[in-house]
């Protein structure tokens, strides 16, 4: 019977903290390549977090906009003579 491999998941903060520790260890051991790799990974994690957060914000804004448009359309059916102003020349 095959064992299932346990997957460890880290939060955004935990991932950054772990990379900071690993980076410090690399610096203490004089391994600049590993220190740079840790910095690169920290930047990637930060970028992914920002992208996810931005996407959620965009989804929330889209929902607000759609709700507003739907409300305005509903209200305009109940109100007469709503039109854009026309310039008389």
pTM exceeding the 0.75 threshold for the entire prediction: no
pLDDT digits (tens, 9 = 90+) for 22-37: 999 999 999 999 999 9
Residues 6 or more apart whose CB falls under 8 angstroms from that of 82 comprise: 76
Q: State the number of CA atoms in the 13 A half-sphere of 7 facing the CB.
A: 1
**pLDDT of the residue at 24:** 94
């Amino acid at each position: 019977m095959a064992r299932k491999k346990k997957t460890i998941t880290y939060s955004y903060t935990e991932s950054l903290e772990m990379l900071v520790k690993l980076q410090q260890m690399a610096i203490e051991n004089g391994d600049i390549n590993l220190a740079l790799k840790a910095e690169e990974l920290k930047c990637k994690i930060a970028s992914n977090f920002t992208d996810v957060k931005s996407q959620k914000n965009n989804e929330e804004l889209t929902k607000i906009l759609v709700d507003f448009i739907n409300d305005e359309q509903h209200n305009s059916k109940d109100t007469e003579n709503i039109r854009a102003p026309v310039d008389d020349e």
